[in-house]
Structure 1
Amino acid sequence: MTDKHVHTAEDGITRCSWAKDHLDYRNYHDVEWGRPVSNDFQLFEKICLEGFQSGLSWLTILRKRENFRQAFANFDFNKIADYNEDNVSQLLQNSGIIRHRGKIEATINNAHRALELVEEFGSLATYIWGWEPASPEPHIGKGEYSHPIPSITRTSELLSKDLKNRGWKFFGPTTAYAFMQAMGLVNDHMEGCAFRKIVESIRSEFEAPN
């Protein structure tokens, strides 16, 4: 197809163009990205990995994801909240993950903050799905913006600000929107992508926690 935002691969399937360059991207795009998630640990994983991705390629994170899961107790924030300086030192020696002290410490901090949200809202999922936009939102930024998918929206700014006020770290508005896309709070598969209608159908049957 000529639309630069979608790409028809050799298998004849049209996908969002960002998924065309690597099989890892394609698999992630086809079976995971944009599909609604309501499991607390899976949501926490996505929050953490989006934070670790900051300044790096998402491909790097995808290829290290199993290592991250092993290192961070499958993102069970009940367990991560018990991590101490010894755990941090061990993680800094783990070549299978991103060895960034600030991001590692942020993950442990955010585990404590996740527990606070569970206490307040009953689950992390209930809190997150309370931010589902009622309708598609415009991009926020300066200058010409040629891509139809935003990187920051009003909701992602508000979500990021609220979590920052609650003590969360490494979760700015751009990271927040990438998280919203990944866990299905919005369906940003492009028009023309074969998976847009698939994800929309899944979303229509999904019952958001409340």
Structure 2
Amino acid sequence: MKNGLTFALPKGTLFPDTVRLLYKAGFLKKEEVLLESRKLVIKDGPYTFIICRPTDIPTFVEHGAADLGIVGKDVIEEQRREIFELLDLKYGKCHFAVAAPRDNPEVHDLGKLTEVRAASKFPEVTRRFFKGLGVRAEVIKMHGNVELAPLVGLADVIVDLVSTGRTLRENNLIEITKIMDITARLVANRVAARVYDREIKTIVKKFKSLVGGEKNEVNLK
């Protein structure tokens, strides 16, 4: 296998399971190599790991700073970079959804709307979704606490990631419709995928054996 393959890994909620996956697959000698370090670039054996914000991973991979990356499908869908999506890793499960105030039934049936004001941290996903419905959407980009937007009259609805739905309930919002499921994905630089085809296929095979391939099983314990 080629020495020097570089992985871009996401800080935040996906990081512990990502480290566990790499360790179980044999690409890390010890989980502590990544979990206990504050370095942003870490070399372990033949592999180099770049630790960065999830939203930066497609950039590193597209431009060849990393051969491979692990990132949420939400980031992939929002950015739509020129990278290959190789494998659904089946952890970090949540979904994109449209939500609205419980006490505003006028916007609960999206099929009856001709226009809407939507707030989201994912403006491109939001635009494409409403365009597909034939609804004219004014999209307001936010960077956090998107649930606030309909509560203060900034937007009619929001498009956001939903896991348990607790935050929606606590803010008197309800999920109107699910847009798509989101999980962590393995992505690759397009040139690296061709040049290091054998090495990357070996990595995909090892990951598949742990995440259950096309099944809904994850064995990271």
Q: What is the TM-score with the length of structure 2 in the denominator?
A: 0.25
Which structure would you say has the larger Rg? 2
Relative to its length, the structure with more helix (as a share) is: 1
TM (norm. structure 1) is: 0.26
